[in-house]
Structure 1
């Protein structure tokens, strides 16, 4: 079960990574409470738009999944969210559903309407042509081609524009897109499923299954929400993982394999790893024959500098992946991969599932992370602690200079 507080960090609907129809139906059914203030009305309607945006996170890469609501008087007459790349944007879908009722209406949209020609015409033009009276924007678009231009064009056409309603929730709904536009690096989420004593596998290497089905389902939900998924060569060779989305509805993330010596060249078997666009990152340690073998498989090969231990440098890898461009990256391991990202401080969110089981001498969750003293350990920032079935889940953020907020606890 996805609780409201967990959904606030994760988004979506229980057990479904892509649930646009349900979100649209909920938005259309939104009804004002008795004696509702203008501020409460804004929060209710923008909240419905945010739910629309979150319902499709991961389904529209590389575009953000935006939510839009068209309101005529007290009635929601149109609701939409971004389609897959090349399809209608949220505003266009909502206006199409509203039809003639859009004239003189107010539109709530989670991200500043686009003002440039890409695969589709600009949404500002559609809003102007529809004759809407007001547009309420949640978050500004940080892209170089935007930066408030959409708002300027709407105002120049005589449309009232307000922005900043539920700005934090709107920015959170688009955090992968916003982070990449600002930094040119993918938004990185680390994910571990371990025993209570911090092991991700038994000493034999067996790891199926440490956590229960609800936690595994949530893990697949995370996959569906990310543009790409990263694992190390050891994981590929040991587990032959599919790296696909199962147990929920969603789009498979793009596989990214960290393999300094290209050991996987002759061992990659699963079709999901061999699909076009899959990326293998390596260093100069990789033999020429292995490089050719990877290319013959149709995989994208990127050579990068090695770190002090000869492994693929994390910072360089993120720069290369950001240029592809990959908006977000889910790092699933193994332990050395997780440790390298933690040591580099190169992540934005950490999902740690911990099962009520003790494995003893197994495979540690952060193998190779060297800490000489407790005082030197990286102190992470707890965002939420909750239960997922019989397992626990702690969601963490990077250390912050500001005072740490206490973790929220689900009762």
Structure 2
């Protein structure tokens, strides 16, 4: 395999641990010995080994004189584990190919510098754009202190999220529900409004896929006995909420709360990525509840425009991925944070969000 194929292999390894490593990045590493033996590693849950060390432990003495491909710059500081740059040097790795420099101020080129100072041949930038997409939540958090914001919506084809009486279960089917829970599993926190808690009493846990439950955040106060409790209750500016979540190490926050909360995040320009599930159903009128509540664009010239980056069929429903990038800026594939493929539920299964 060439360098690009090895880096793609490392990306697949990183993707496989996407929901397990936060607040650390989901990194993959591939090591090839001079004789052609290949060893793989991916970041373990917090407190465990980083991808480079996992691959080095698998390789043992065979790493001497070999090449390592890693999706993110090896760390150069001691945290819960030792510096990965030192581990690569001590193992005798001769060449390291890195997709991206780590923006974390404790690294930020120091790992690359340490490798080069030890005589290791270092190349940086291979498949950097693709890895930047894969690690977008981590990169945003380390660059701005705020989490990556995903807004999830489920609607009929005529853009309605609930009936006039407030009922909404179930608009979409089981496959879409499983997919939405996979997005939850990748998110460190989930946000809803107190109105949604009062109306639907959601638990906001991960149930249809394997994964940890996110921190539950209620905008306002949750009623006593609500299933969402215990939860973080917040009142204030949304940017202050994002700052507070970022300070807690939240890399990705999923906004699921109703039309009022969705509209507030959207109009404030705080959404980094939209995931919209569309069901083959129609309310057929203007009295059902819309995707967003509140004032919209007053004229066509003011309409918000983004870019559809993926359309995926999930049973009888569609998942549409939307990026807040104007069509005029799209010159190629638009970066989009995607979850891994999951087995679809039976098309006859029922579910919702």
TM-score, L = length of structure 1: 0.77
Cα 1:135–1:280 change in 2 (3 A) is: same
Kept after mapping to 2: 8 A contact 1:382/1:406: no
Instruction: Indicate whether 1:279 and 2:240 are aligned.
Output: no
The 5 Å alignment of 1:87-236 reads 87-236=48-197
1:334 aligns with 2:258: yes
**Counterpart residue number, 1:60:** 21
Q: Deviations over 1:13-42 (max 9, x none)?
A: xxxxxxxxxxxxxxxxxxx4xxxxxxxx11
Task: Go from structure 1 to structure 2 and tell me whether the alpha carbon gap of 1:72 and 1:108 turns closer, same or farther (over 3 Å shift).
Answer: same
Aligned positions of 1:317-328 closer than 5 A: 317-328=241-252
What corresponds to 2:226 in structure 1? 268
- Note closer, same or farther for the CA distance 1:127–1:343 as it changes in structure 2 (3 Å cut): same
Deviation at 1:402, TM superposition (A): 4.8
Structure 2 counterpart of 1:83, from 27, 36, 44: 44
1:396 to partner: Cα distance: 0.8
* Matched residue SS, 1:75: coil
Q: Identify the structure with the greater helix proportion.
A: 1
After superposition, residues 386-397 of structure 1 pair within 5 angstroms as 386-397=312-323
1:345 equivalent in alignment to 2:269: yes
Structure 2: 5+ residue stretches without partners: 335-353
1:101 and 1:407 mapped to 2: Cα distance? 38
Q: Would the aligned equivalents of 1:224 and 1:250 in 2 still touch at CA under 8 Å?
A: yes
Partner of 1:255: 216
Conserved in 1, the CA contact under 8 Å of 2:203 and 2:227? no
Structure 1 unaligned runs (5+)? Answer: 1-31, 33-40, 283-303, 305-312
Query: Residue 49 of structure 1: SS of its match in structure 2?
Result: helix
User: CA offsets, 1:255-286, max 9 Å, x none?
Assistant: 11111xx2x1424235xx32xxx42111xxxx
Deviations 1:190-229 (A, max 9, x none): 1101011111111222211111111111101111111111
CA deviation string 1:327-361 (max 9, x = no partner): 11111121111101110010110011111101233
Moved more, 181-190 or 384-393: 384-393
TM superposition outliers: structure 1 runs of 4+ over 6 Å? none
Q: Does 1:404 align with 2:330?
A: yes
Asked if the contact 2:34–2:65 (Cα under 8 Å) also holds between the matched residues in 1, the reply is: no
Mapped to 1, the partners of 2:325 and 2:45 lie a distance apart of 35
**Which residue in 2 is equivalent to 1:377?**
303
SS at match of 2:192: strand
Against the structure 1 CA distance between its residues 59 and 369, is the aligned structure 2 distance closer, same or farther, given a 3 Å change threshold?
A: farther
Distance 2:217 2:322 in 1: 23
| 1:176 aligned counterpart, secondary structure | helix
SS in 1 for 2:256: strand
1:249 Cα deviation from its structure 2 partner: 1.4
Deviation at residue 230 of structure 1 after TM alignment: 0.9
CA distance in 2, matches of 1:231, 1:333: 4
Q: Distance in 2 between matches of 1:90 and 1:404?
A: 33
> Contact 2:102–2:108 (CA<8 Å) still a contact in 1?
yes
- What is the CA RMSD across the aligned residues, in angstroms? 1.8
